[in-house]
Amino acid sequence: DTGVSQDPRHKITKRGQNVTFRCDPISEHNRLYWYRQTLGQGPEFLTYFQNEAQLEKSRLLSDRFSAERPKGSFSTLEIQRTEQGDSAMYLCASSLSVQYEQYFGPGTRLTVT
Amino acid sequence: DQQVKQNSPSLSVQEGRISILNCDYTNSMFDYFLWYKKYPAEGPTFLISISSIKDKNEDGRFTVFLNKSAKHLSLHIVPSQPGDSAVYFCAAARTQGGSEKLVFGKGTKLTVNP
């Protein structure tokens, strides 16, 4: 299988805890995106990597959020001191730089209690 | 502000008939448009796309139409099948000088009745 994978699929955490999500893109894709989706909304852009460089961050990405893509392959998204408002589906997508279509993983559903 | 709008939260059609999903955008810098389908508990799946230099793109049962002057696009599904029942998202991108991040609408839930 060469689709985008995300781990874990579900995460329940208590407010104030830190969480980390992982995304493995399609192997030859050099672009990687993180989005967040809440109920009744479409996915909202969080951040974007081209290879290992983080090129853009949304203002939605507060300083409690950090994303890395250390070797230009997999990426991690960490949320520190989680708040109930962080409860959402976190989606990862990847693409080639020569195409505009992005291919999404199944998402990680975060619930902050 | 919502730059990509899908004004119909839901649509119900009979199997075999045409489904038409609509999308409007406000940012004239958008020049690439995509439709995604999403089933519950899954990520969005790419369906079809169109560049602003075209006004129509067809792929099997799916056709996307773009009216740049009206800043409007639509997805036609003919014939509709029960397996098409899902939430459909319209997305737009600015490919010139941008990251090609996608800006999504809120989605339209399509139900195809047997």
**For B67-76, what is each residue's pLDDT tens digit?**
999 999 999 9
Query: Within a 13 Å sphere around the CA of B63, how many CA atoms are in the beta-carbon half?
Result: 11
Residue A102 forms contact with B (CB below 8 Å): yes
Give the position of tokens 């989706």.
Answer: A37
Residue B100 has pLDDT above 80, yes or no: no
Q: What is the structure's pLDDT at A100?
A: 87
Closest-CA distance of chain B to residue A58, Å: 10
Mean pLDDT of A47-54: 93
Q: Which DSSP letter does residue A86 get?
A: G
* CB within 8 Å: B101 and A105: no
- Percent of chain B clearing pLDDT 90 (strictly above): 89
- Give A5-43 pLDDT, tens digit per residue: 999 999 999 999 999 999 999 998 999 999 999 999 999
Mean pLDDT of B45-67: 97
Residue B36 forms contact with A (CB below 8 Å): yes
Residue A23 forms contact with B (CB below 8 Å): no
